[in-house]
Chains A and B, each alone.
Chain A
């Protein structure tokens, strides 16, 4: 019984984790500019993330070590620096844009400019990390994050033409504005497949004390959670396609996105949109900061746990303290949060090879996973994701220059 409670919580957690500033921004941009045509990229991103989460969760549950632990142990310090540097840079950008997301939601609600909110938001996040336990961070933000279901309500209320949506779920080639189409595709993938998500997830498996017993829970969590999370992202794309696209509104600023729900649901939609943006971005802020501190601590062998008093893991606590405050700076000096988000998503997409390809080696190592190594399906998926990640690495920068902003 307790286990199924965990499943439910896990599913909820991954919704909270999946729908955050990057997904909301990129899927509404895609909906506004290309209708349903980019929905298939969301499906692709969701499936990929589901596989990666299942694998890193399995890795942690079986080996009792996190993905970051194993990156250092099995590949050595020299190689470890590569994913570490990539994850630090990229997730720092994502972190800054999440803080931007919370700040912009508060700006829309109060009229006080987002740049004033960055530091208070960072301080509140820090206080929660300082005093709270892993359970509070994980489950608290996830339960509150359920408010994101409003996107599904909004999309249904707009009565989309389902056959057209269905066609959008199948891959298609752009008819016009190719560069922008692929640029948004890359952004969506960067928003869906974020390394912090699986680094956090595998550390979370250790924090929650997962063992081989939890492999079923892991599979259901990674599968269902991403199904729901991805579903909600598709809903935000649908809503944007029906509210913004017919009016030829392009999303240049976060402020424009609230219309997507205000239009079908009225004042309630507007308020719930602000709540969703605020809560999911805040939740992601905490998860990213923790993911980065976990990765540092595990890679260097420091004491770490969100359940320990900061005095017992001083380097870990210092890492998250410094990171969350630093990440508030770009927003506090007034960088446009949407620009920040788009750059962060493309950078994320480009960083994927260094965290995806090593996973392939680990997932086939019988010393680590005993008889739970990857089967043909997982290996096939992982090879596909690895190839995709290389394509993203090559395409990301040219597309950013060609069609970004």
Chain B
């Protein structure tokens, strides 16, 4: 139960697999929120954004890519998941896993 420290950039761009071992995309965003703690206020990560657009997602943010793709190609197949922190298993930082199946995940608007 010891705390580990990792750098954000070690996570961003990593391929994420679901409970069945299927590849669902790459981590492109970590959303943090301020929570009130007894010892003071902390920012904690609440959700992970995982996108399908691989390398583009890691370069630009998902939002830019989405806008561009929608604007230029009018593609509707663009997929981006928002995964609550509880579902993300980071015990192996190089191979993050979601503890659910892909179809259980919520797509970001």
Contacts and interface: CB of A to CB of B under 8 A. Distances in A.
B67 interface: yes
A364 B60 contact: no
Interface string A180-220: 00000000000000000000000000000000000000000
B93 interface: no
Interface in B67-82: 67-68, 71
A365 interface: yes
Nearest to A77: B9
A76 interface: yes
Nearest to B60: A361
A174 B13 CA distance: 48
A248 interface: no
A366 B67 contact: yes
Contact of A76 (B59, B63, B64): B59
B89 to A, nearest CB: 25
A366 B61 CA distance: 12
Interface residues of A, number: 9
B35 to A, nearest CB: 25
A365 B60 CA distance: 10
A75 interface: yes
A371 to B, nearest CB: 13
A364 B68 contact: yes
A189 B79 CA distance: 40
Contacts of A367: 63-64
A302 interface: no
A79 B60 CA distance: 10
A159 interface: no
Interface in A356-379: 361, 364-367
Contact of A75 (B9, B59, B68): B59
Contacts of A74: 60-61, 64
Max count, chain A CB within 10 A of own CB: residue among B9, B63, B67? B67
Given A75-B59, A364-B67, A364-B68, 9 more contacts: A74-B60, A76-B9, A76-B59, A79-B59, A361-B60, A361-B64, A364-B71, A365-B67, A366-B67
21 contacts: A74-B60, A74-B61, A74-B64, A75-B59, A75-B60, A76-B9, A76-B59, A79-B59, A361-B60, A361-B64, A361-B68, A364-B64, A364-B67, A364-B68, A364-B71, A365-B63, A365-B64, A365-B67, A366-B67, A367-B63, A367-B64
